[in-house]
Amino acid sequence: MSIAPDPDGFYSHRDYPDSKIAGLYDMGRTIGRGHFAVVKIAKHVFTGETVAVKVIDKMKLDEVSRDHMFQEVVCMKLVQHPNVVRLYDVIDTSTKLYLVLELGDGGDLYDFITKHESGLNEDLSKRLFRQIVTAISYCHRLHVVHRDLKPENVVFFEKLGIVKLTDFGFSNKFTPGSTLNTACGSLAYSAPEILLGNPYDAPKVDIWSLGVILYMLVCGSLPFQERNDSETLAKIMDCEYRLPMRLSSECKNLISRLLVRDPDQRPTLDDILNDVWLALDAFDDHPIDMYSEPLISRYVAPPINPQSALLSTN
């Protein structure tokens, strides 16, 4: 017998085939898809609140993918910040792992930028960029590196008036003073040292990606985007990009400090937050006080051991 959704696209929790998720959420339409996972809209049975559920097929995971999923859960459980999408719950079954996530209501930053051909004005860019930097600064203080920073992984929460960082699939814990080796992320946003396959200082690769995001915010396009990957790679290695004349000298200066090939020459996150271009008197800071505990967080099950969830397949 087939299972049909209701008019709003949600499957009844009584009909959804996986009993562990069925008692808690009505599953809706798919809003994202990857190699080993899909992301669905879901509705909490008791509160009626809408969430995003990342459904990971454990049977398709190889050892490397299992490690990434483990790190994603560990890092998202650790990072609790107003500008980071919350992981409400982790539900483990024999074949699936469900990550129940906060759902944004305003789309992602990439789509927003592409609607503005020449980029956003500098005041709005400051407001958005500062929130992203603040989120990454908090992550780094907890020794969590994101490694896949890009506008597609920044989502709007219009009711709260803020943006939040999401998708920690390439995140990892790091030890200050030590290096990481895994090459990951998206080409156009990746630091030169990652693309060269060299051991790298984890915080510095996120800082490079912040430079690419800032460029996109104020210019409306990528700084390094050529006809093919080889040409794009060459531009990244040479740090070759153009800045529009219309940008303020302060904005240009910050971008040029971020997009530096030598990671030791890049500013720290504190340097970025204290940069003259991000001066707080230019705009009202984002309304963190508006961030409150969602009703759903009172109903979710106690957190499980994420390692056992990712390593168990029976």
Instruction: Mark whether 209 and 78 lie in a shared domain.
Output: no
Q: What are the CA-CA distances from residue 14 to residues 5, 18, 45, 46, 52 (Å)?
A: 11, 10, 10, 13, 19
pLDDT band at 166 (very low <50, low <70, confident <90, very high): very high
126 carries a ligand binding annotation = no
Instruction: Mark whether 164 and 40 lie in a shared domain.
Output: no
> Mean pLDDT over all residues of the chain?
84
Instruction: Mark whether 191 and 63 lie in a shared domain.
Output: no
Domain boundary among 103, 138, 157: 103
Contacts 24+ apart (CB under 8 A), 192-198: 192/236, 192/237, 192/239, 192/261, 193/263, 195/233, 195/236, 195/237, 196/237
* pLDDT of res. 239: 95
Q: What CATH number has the domain bearing residue 76?
A: 3.30.200.20
pLDDT band at 20 (very low <50, low <70, confident <90, very high): low
Q: What CATH number has the domain bearing residue 206?
A: 1.10.510.10
* Residues recognised as catalytic: 148
Highest mean pLDDT among 41-55, 113-127, 254-268: 254-268
Instruction: Mark whether 64 and 193 lie in a shared domain.
Output: no
pLDDT band at 17 (very low <50, low <70, confident <90, very high): low
Please give the residue range of the domain that contains residue 229: 109-289
Q: Is 87 helix (H, G, I), strand (E, B) or coil?
A: strand
Say how many domains are in the chain: 2
| Terminal C-alpha separation, the chain | 26
Instruction: Mark whether 233 and 162 lie in a shared domain.
Output: yes
In a domain, 217, yes or no: yes
**Whether residue 274 has pLDDT greater than 90:** yes
| Closest-CA residue to 290 (of 165, 163, 161) | 161
Domain boundary among 103, 133, 152: 103
Instruction: Mark whether 234 and 272 lie in a shared domain.
Output: yes
Instruction: Mark whether 136 and 274 lie in a shared domain.
Output: yes
* pLDDT of res. 12: 45
Residue in the structure block whose two tokens are 């500013």: 267
Instruction: Mark whether 69 and 120 lie in a shared domain.
Output: no
Instruction: Mark whether 95 and 118 lie in a shared domain.
Output: no
In tens, the pLDDT along 54-96 reads 999 988 888 888 888 888 899 999 999 999 999 999 988 888 8
**Whether residue 232 has pLDDT greater than 50:** yes
Residues 164-192, mean pLDDT to the nearest whole number: 93
